[in-house]
């Protein structure tokens, strides 16, 4: 194999090998574990940057390994996969820094960081999968690698959340497997193809293709937290803050949403999907999820649960943008893959800081916290305003393109969903910001720790400050080359140009 053929595999192996080595490290080998984590994350990021430039300039990167008769394991870099790979690799580096600080002095760190690396390996494998069978294998590996992270604390609540997670995700994986096998029997191929590979099938197969579509979307919708398949996500908030950040911004829910994009565009094709009549029901399901998640978030006092229901709502913007059917709405949906990740990881980093530094876990405990932790609260404020859609932050760019795309496609009802969602976003975020900045603080903070002149440990403070700046930057610099918006336009041009 030449260099271009090795690149996708090397990107996957860069975190896999690190994880396997970390598993066997003794707990007291702290510096070695930190060095391996950081070296693996930086090496992956360098490889991703090289491949991103190559894809933009027309290079073809593909690793193909024999698997089953007529089916290879395929890792391939295209414009869509690189959007997800860059997000995963970049946020993995920041989450690694955060997790090192968060877990300092805690037990079982080698186990945690070993599975942490496997989780990122599976996520990158999902992104780079060149056919549905490769996607399925990494998708299931992601389920298995994430479970130990959810139950890491070993409490009864975490074990219960882990069991719920497995029930949901393994059932979803079974549906995805059934749909994949059925699809292969009809088409004889599972290769992802620009504008889909199913439109050439005889019309007599169309009822079966609709059923297969339902199976695939249901299987993927579990991880994407589509209503009513979202129940595992709020329960998983018992996991440590770095795991919550990984679940919501980098790995699990994004893998589900990304898979739905792949199915609609590279398995069925957007035009064929629309002709089968499956896109409008998908758009309506996404709209219901957006509103439902926002309403549930309004009534959560636990901060991480409020953020979890916010994720249920926000991730479905991606699905909505794809299902509206139109290039402008597609740009909005694809760019939100990145924007939601950056905004939500900021919020979970900050929530972890409040919990670790002051013992704050509930919204009702946040009065005056902005005076004690101004940098963390400023980052949280930027992330929250971005979620609401305040210009010129990242969330505004998403909602602008989704709204324009809905009007372009003649689906004006989507505007009411976006407006309603934004008002609900404001309803569950603005009271937090008001309490944190303007209400009098409690007489004494529980479990307060001293960090010298810093409000918290630097390893916990630097990552959310960086991601908050990214929330501002991707909004202000949206029109520049290599911005997420520019790349989403690039992908959409490829999908909609014959």
Domains of the chain by residue range: 296-498
Confidence (pLDDT) at 250: 78
Mean pLDDT for 119-126 is 93
For residue 290, the model assigns a pLDDT of 96
Q: Tell me the CA distances in angstroms from 437 to 173, 361, 366, 441, one per residue in order.
A: 44, 17, 9, 9
Tell me: pLDDT of 476 over 60.
yes
Query: What is the mean pLDDT of the segment spanning 449-457?
Result: 66
The answer to whether residue 220 scores a pLDDT higher than 80 is: yes
Least confident piece of the model among 16-25, 400-409, 458-467: 16-25
Label each residue of the chain as H, E or C.
CCHHHHHHHHHHHHHHHHHHHHHCCCCCCHHHHHHHHHHHHHHHHHHHHHHHHHHHCCCCEEEEEEEECCEEEEEEECHHHHHHHHHHHHHHHHHHHHHHHHCCCCCCHHHHHHHHHHHHHHHHHHHHECEHHHHHHHHHHHHHHHHHHHCCCCCHHHHHHHHHHHHHHHHHHHHHHHHHHHHHHHHCCCECCCCCCCCCCCHHHHHHHHHHHHHHHHHHHHHCCCCCCCCHHHHHHHCCHHHHHHHHHHCHHHHHHHHHHHHHHHHHCHHHHHHHCCHHHHHHHHHHHHHHHHHHHHCCCEHHHHHHHHHHHHHHHHHHHHHCCCHHHHHHHHHHHHHHHHHHHHHHHHHHHHHHHHCCCEHHHCCCHHHHCHHHHHHHHHHHHHHHCCCCCHHHHHHHHHHHHHHHCCCCHHHHHHHHHHHHHHHHHHHHHHHHHHCCCCCCCCCCCCCCCCCCCHHHHHHHHHHHHHHHHHHHCCCCCCCHHHHHHHHHHHHHCC
* CA-angle at 51, arms to 45 and 57, nearest 5°: 140
Residue 439 has pLDDT above 80, yes or no: yes
Report whether pLDDT(449) > 60.
Answer: no
Taking CA atoms, 23 is separated from 100, 116, 147, 212, in Å, by 15, 10, 16, 39
- Choose the weakest-confidence range: 100-109, 360-369, 457-466: 100-109
Q: Please report the pLDDT score of residue 498 as a whole number.
A: 52
User: Which of 399 and 455 is assigned the larger pLDDT?
Assistant: 399
Q: How confident is the model at residue 497 (pLDDT cuts 50, 70, 90)?
A: low
415-425 residue pLDDT tens: 999 999 999 99
In the chain, the percentage of residues whose pLDDT exceeds 90 is 61
Mean pLDDT of 466-492: 91
| Structure token digits, residue 138 | 């990494």
Rounded mean pLDDT of 33-54? Answer: 89
Task: Please say whether the beta carbons of 304 and 366 come within 8 A.
Answer: no
What is the reported pLDDT for 450? 55
Check whether 31 has a pLDDT greater than 90. Answer: no
**Averaged pLDDT, 283-303:** 95
The residue to which tokens 């007291």 are assigned: 28
Per-residue pLDDT at 462 exceeds 90: yes
Question: Which residues neighbour 177 within 8 Å (Cβ) at sequence distance 6 or greater?
Answer: 136, 219
Tens of pLDDT, residue by residue over 46-92, are 999 999 999 988 888 999 999 888 889 999 999 999 999 999 999 98
Give the pLDDT confidence score for residue 294 in this predicted structure: 95
444 pLDDT higher than 70: no
Percent of the chain with pLDDT over 70: 96
Whether the per-residue pLDDT at 491 is higher than 60: the answer is yes
Q: Per-residue pLDDT averaged across 177-197, rounded?
A: 91
Average pLDDT over residues 31-40: 86
* 309-357 pLDDT, tens digit each: 999 999 999 999 999 988 999 999 999 999 999 999 999 999 999 988 8
pLDDT value, residue 382: 97
Residue 286's pLDDT is 96
Q: Are 113 and 19 in contact (CB under 8 A)?
A: yes
Confidence class of residue 443 from pLDDT cuts 50, 70 and 90? Answer: low
Per-residue pLDDT at 378: 96
């Amino acid at each position: 194999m030449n260099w271009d053929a090795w690149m996708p595999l090397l990107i996957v192996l860069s975190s896999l090998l690190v994880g396997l080595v970390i598993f066997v490290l003794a707990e007291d080998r702290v510096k070695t574990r930190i060095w391996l984590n950081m070296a693996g994350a930086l090496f992956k990021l360098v490889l991703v940057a090289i491949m991103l430039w190559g894809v933009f300039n027309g290079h073809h990167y593909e690793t193909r390994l024999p698997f089953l008769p007529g089916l290879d394991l395929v890792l391939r870099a295209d414009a869509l996969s690189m959007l997800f790979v860059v997000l995963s690799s970049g946020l993995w580096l920041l989450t690694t820094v955060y997790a090192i600080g968060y877990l300092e002095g805690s037990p079982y760190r080698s186990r945690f960081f070993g599975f942490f690396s496997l989780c990122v390996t599976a996520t990158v494998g999902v992104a780079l999968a060149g056919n549905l069978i490769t996607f399925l294998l990494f998708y299931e590996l992601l389920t298995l690698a994430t479970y130990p992270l959810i139950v890491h604390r070993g409490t009864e609540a975490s074990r219960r959340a882990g069991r719920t997670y497995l029930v949901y995700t393994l059932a979803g994986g079974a549906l995805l497997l059934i749909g994949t096998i059925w699809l292969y029997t009809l088409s004889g191929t599972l290769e992802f193809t620009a504008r889909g590979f199913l439109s050439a099938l005889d019309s007599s197969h169309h009822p079966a293709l609709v059923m297969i579509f339902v199976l695939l979307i249901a299987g993927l919708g579990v991880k994407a937290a589509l209503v009513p398949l979202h129940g595992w996500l709020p329960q998983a908030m018992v996991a440590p803050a770095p795991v919550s950040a990984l679940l919501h911004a980098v790995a699990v829910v994004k893998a589900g949403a990304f898979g739905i994009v792949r199915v609609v565009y590279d398995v069925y094709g957007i035009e064929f999907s629309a002709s089968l009549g499956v896109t409008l029901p998908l758009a309506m399901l996404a709209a219901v999820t957006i509103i439902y998640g926002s309403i549930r978030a309004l009534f959560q006092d636990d901060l991480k649960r409020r953020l979890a229901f916010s994720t249920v709502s926000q991730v479905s913007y991606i699905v909505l943008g794809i299902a509206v059917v139109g290039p402008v709405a597609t740009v909005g949906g694809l760019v939100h893959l990145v924007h939601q990740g950056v905004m939500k990881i900021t919020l979970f980093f900050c929530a972890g800081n409040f919990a670790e530094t002051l013992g704050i876990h509930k919204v009702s405990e946040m009065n005056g916290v902005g005076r004690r932790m101004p940098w963390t609260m400023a980052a949280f404020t930027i992330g929250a305003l971005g979620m609401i859609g305040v210009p010129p932050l990242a969330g505004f760019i998403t909602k602008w393109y989704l709204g324009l795309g809905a009007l372009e496609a003649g689906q004006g009802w989507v505007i009411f969903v976006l407006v309603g969602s934004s008002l609900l976003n404001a309803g569950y975020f603005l009271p937090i910001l008001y309490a944190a900045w303007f209400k009098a603080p409690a007489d004494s903070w529980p479990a307060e720790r001293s960090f010298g002149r810093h409000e918290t440990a630097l390893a916990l403070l630097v990552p959310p400050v960086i991601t908050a700046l990214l929330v501002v930057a991707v909004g202000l610099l949206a029109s520049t080359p290599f911005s997420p918006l520019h790349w989403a336009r690039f992908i959409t041009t490829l999908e909609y140009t014959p």
